[in-house]
Amino acid sequence: MKRRVLVVEDDRAIRQGIVDALGFAGYDVLEAANGDDGMRMGVRTGYDLLLLDLVLPGPGGLEILAEVRTCRPTVPVIILTARGEESDRVKGLKLGADDYVVKPFSIKELLARIEAVIRRTPERSGDVKTVPFPGGTADLDRREVRFGNGKREELSERECELLRYLAGNAGRAISRDEILRRVWRIDPDKIETRTIDMHIARLREKLRDDPDDPKIIATVRNRGYVFVVPRAP
């Protein structure tokens, strides 16, 4: 699955250069040219990394960063700054930015920083291939669950992606809205979150996770769902 990068930059030439370079490097790219669009997309759109200019028409980059950190606490953010904005860089890092790049920058440096930040982010769930759980193992490449007694259960593509994301963020409660953005790749306002509950119910059934007392995918009241990390024996 391609990594998706949201680029929020008002300078058209800089933005286009970044978008073209990211596309050539194999990323899926979204772009916003002002603070209003950047705020809306930063909060509501699904993406794997945010490239954020600090000086924007409308809401500024620091304001967008603060809002993103409230609703998307672990999504990686790299801020783009001019040479004379050291105080803003410090503020950005204190607000939770993962790194910064000073303009003018080389595309080679920017791509290297993006790759480094993505490698260390806790939301890097795309590399999860197998998911062990009490009683069996889910093979996400083969789209099947294998139990200790030799029995198997097929998984749909959506169930695999949902389980991949939950297991890739094991131990962290994940909201329904985040699942819609990150797995379904859609705006939560455009679909009933009940859809998530139904998919979770089917996934629990296939993992033989008791819905009345789930041990694998637990419900966290008012927060969402969490893939439970098995305790060491």
The residue ranges of DSSP E strands in the chain, in sequence order, are 4-8, 28-32, 49-53, 77-81, 99-102, 130-133, 136-139, 144-147, 152-154, 217-220, 224-227
pLDDT per residue as tens digits for the range 76-98: 899 998 866 778 888 888 888 88
- What percent of the chain has pLDDT above 90? 51
* Higher-confidence position of 230 and 233: 230
Could you confirm whether domain 4-120 is CATH 3.40.50.2300?
A: yes
Average pLDDT of the chain, as a whole number: 87
- In the block, tokens 């789209």 appear at 143
Return the percentage of the chain with pLDDT > 70, whole number.
90
Q: Tell me which of 158 and 127 has the higher pLDDT.
A: 158
pLDDT in tens, 182-202: 787 776 776 766 889 999 999
State residue 36's pLDDT score: 96
> Of the segments 7-21, 103-117, 155-169, which one has the largest average pLDDT value?
7-21
Angle of CA points 44, 49, 52, to nearest 5°: 80
pLDDT at residue 169 tops 50: yes
Tell which CATH architecture fits domain 130-227.
Answer: Orthogonal Bundle (1.10)
Q: How confident is the model at residue 232 (pLDDT cuts 50, 70, 90)?
A: very low
pTM of the model: 0.57
130-227 has the same fold as 4-120: no
pLDDT value at residue 155: 93
Q: Which of 225, 211, 143, 215 is closest to 182 using CA atoms?
A: 225
User: Is the confidence at residue 124, as pLDDT, over 50?
Assistant: no
pLDDT at 125 over 70: no
Cα dist from 11 to 7, 92, 178, whole Å? 11, 20, 30
Q: Is 74 helix (H, G, I), strand (E, B) or coil?
A: coil
Cα-based torsion angle of the residue sequence 190, 195, 196, 200 in order, rounded to the nearest 10 degrees:
-170
Query: Would you give the DSSP letter of residue 228?
Result: P
Buried b (16+ CB within 10 A) or exposed e, 91-102: bbeebbbbebbe
Q: Is the dihedral of CA 214, 220, 223, 229 positive or negative?
A: negative
Residue 216 tokens read as: 């694998």
Q: How far apart are CA 70 and CA 128, in angstroms?
A: 26
Domain ranges of the chain: 4-120, 130-227
List, for residues 24-58, the tens digit of each pLDDT value. 999 999 999 999 999 999 988 878 899 999 999 99
